[in-house]
């Protein structure tokens, strides 16, 4: 007898399988394309799929963000050494990488704003997408200059505030997504806006509220919150060593 022909998978399932393979192979640009296909399939993303979407773009961004920092450092070194041609070549390459980063940011923002947010349920899905949206405006602010930088900062401020309000309405103070939002909002204030007092306030409020609420809660809740609480504590110890213990 011949082998029975296997039924084809729905497009969204096929995209997720391929995205998983690409992630394991550390082929994040490919993973981005598969997750874009999954989003455009229309069906709401599960929690796991939302995390895969974030992981795909984070992976694709990571080396490029590092490349921008390295290129800026090399350009400065060449300029200080009066090697104008070397500095000009480095500047050209820096522009290339910045354009790649900007393209990735625009892609995920279009997915979030055009497809995901309009269909998102209140609570965790809405906070997750708003947090992701704010994060990518933060990334734009990190490497853009001039008016582009100012516009990205303004958008990040607005969306982080919206996400925080949504989290306060619908998520417990111990929820990992709410804690992750507070962590990233604080980092934005400290790194991009150079506002240490706001960064400390946001991180400290989130940390202390969660620690108090976790007393007597199930071990699972403690385990889920612990990694982000550790990062909040670590940042607070750096930003305000005398005012936090």
81-97: pLDDT as tens digits: 999 999 999 999 999 99
**Other beta carbons within 10 Å of 142:** 19
Overall fold of domain 122-245: Delta-Endotoxin; domain 1 (1.20.190)
Whole-angstrom CA distances from 239 to 26, 38, 69, 83 are 33, 40, 22, 37
Stretch(es) of the chain classified as CATH 1.20.190.20: 12-119, 122-245
Paired tokens of 109: 């923002």
Whole-prediction pTM: 0.92
| pLDDT > 90: percent of the chain | 89
Instruction: Decide if pLDDT at 62 tops 70.
Output: yes
Q: What is the rounded end-to-end Cα distance, in angstroms, of the chain?
A: 72
Instruction: Decide if pLDDT at 2 tops 60.
Output: no
What is the CATH architecture of 12-119?
Up-down Bundle (1.20)
For 155-214, write each residue's pLDDT tens digit: 999 999 999 999 999 999 999 999 999 999 999 999 999 999 999 999 999 999 999 999
Torsion of CA 188, 190, 191, 193, to 10 degrees: 80
Phi, psi of 217 (to 5 degrees): -80, 160
Paired tokens of 215: 């007393």
């Amino acid at each position: 007898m011949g082998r029975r022909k296997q039924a084809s998978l729905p497009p969204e399932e096929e995209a997720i399988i391929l995205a998983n393979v690409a992630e394991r192979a550390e082929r994040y640009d490919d993973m981005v394309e598969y997750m874009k296909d999954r989003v455009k399939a229309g069906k709401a993303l599960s929690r796991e799929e939302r995390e895969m979407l974030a992981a795909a773009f984070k992976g694709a961004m990571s080396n490029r963000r590092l490349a921008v920092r390295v290129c800026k450092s090399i350009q400065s070194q060449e300029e200080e050494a009066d090697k104008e041609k070397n500095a000009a070549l480095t500047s050209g390459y820096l522009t290339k990488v910045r354009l790649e980063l900007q393209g990735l940011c625009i892609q995920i923002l279009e997915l979030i704003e055009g497809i995901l947010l309009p269909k998102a349920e209140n609570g965790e899905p809405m906070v997750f997408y708003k947090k992701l949206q704010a994060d990518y405006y933060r990334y734009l602010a990190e490497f853009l200059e001039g008016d582009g930088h100012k516009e990205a900062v303004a958008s990040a401020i607005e969306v982080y505030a919206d996400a925080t309000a949504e989290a306060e309405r619908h998520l417990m103070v111990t929820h990992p997504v709410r804690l992750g939002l507070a962590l990233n909002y604080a980092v934005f204030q400290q790194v991009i806006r150079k506002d240490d007092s706001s960064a400390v306030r946001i991180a400290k409020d989130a940390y202390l509220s969660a620690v108090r609420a976790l007393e007597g809660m199930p071990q699972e809740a403690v385990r889920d919150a612990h990694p982000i609480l550790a990062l909040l504590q670590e940042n607070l110890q750096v930003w305000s060593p005398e005012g936090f213990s």
